[in-house]
Amino acid sequence: DTAVSQTPKYLVTQMGNDKSIKCEQNLGHDTMYWYKQDSKKFLKIMFSYNNKELIINETVPNRFSPKSPDKAHLNLHINSLELGDSAVYFCASSRSGGSGNEQFFGPGTRLTVL
């Protein structure tokens, strides 16, 4: 009965490789997000989708490409991985509308680029 799940939990790979992280939520939410958290715990939003439409696209290298096949899924594909991509990536979801809706976070995917 996990609310927001991500796979894999850990990802270790070489520079230059391409990798994907998957996210699924079973809360019936219509909005999903990808965040990047660096080693100092700074949390930065990367993308947000509402009903499969991209609504937030922060300044992120175009090596990062999100894809939302349906409202319950939001995947993140990263091309040509670089050392600086090492971080913990969090998926989150929420209901849209109003400003008081909480975000539900997944457990995170720790990406290490060697």
Partner 1 sequence: GDPVTQMEGPVTLSEEAFLTINCTYTATGYPSLFWYVQYPGEGLQLLLKATKADDKGSNKGFEATYRKETTSFHLEKGSVQVSDSAVYFCALHSGGYQKVTFGTGTKLQVIP
Nearest to 29 by CA among 52, 10, 7, 63: 52
- The secondary structure element, H or E, covering residue 47 is strand 43-50
Q: Which amino acid is at 7?
A: T
State how far the Cα of 4 lies from the Cα of 22, in Å rounded to an integer.
11
From the list 20-28, 62-70, 79-87, 91-99, the region that binds partner 1 by CB under 8 A is: 91-99
Interaction of residue 59 with partner 1, rule CB under 8 A: no
Interaction of residue 41 with partner 1, rule CB under 8 A: yes
What 3-state DSSP class applies to 59?
coil
Interaction of residue 50 with partner 1, rule CB under 8 A: yes
Number of residues that bind partner 1 (CB under 8 A): 26
Binding residues for partner 1, rule: CB under 8 A, are 4, 40-43, 45, 48, 50, 55-56, 58, 90, 92, 96-108
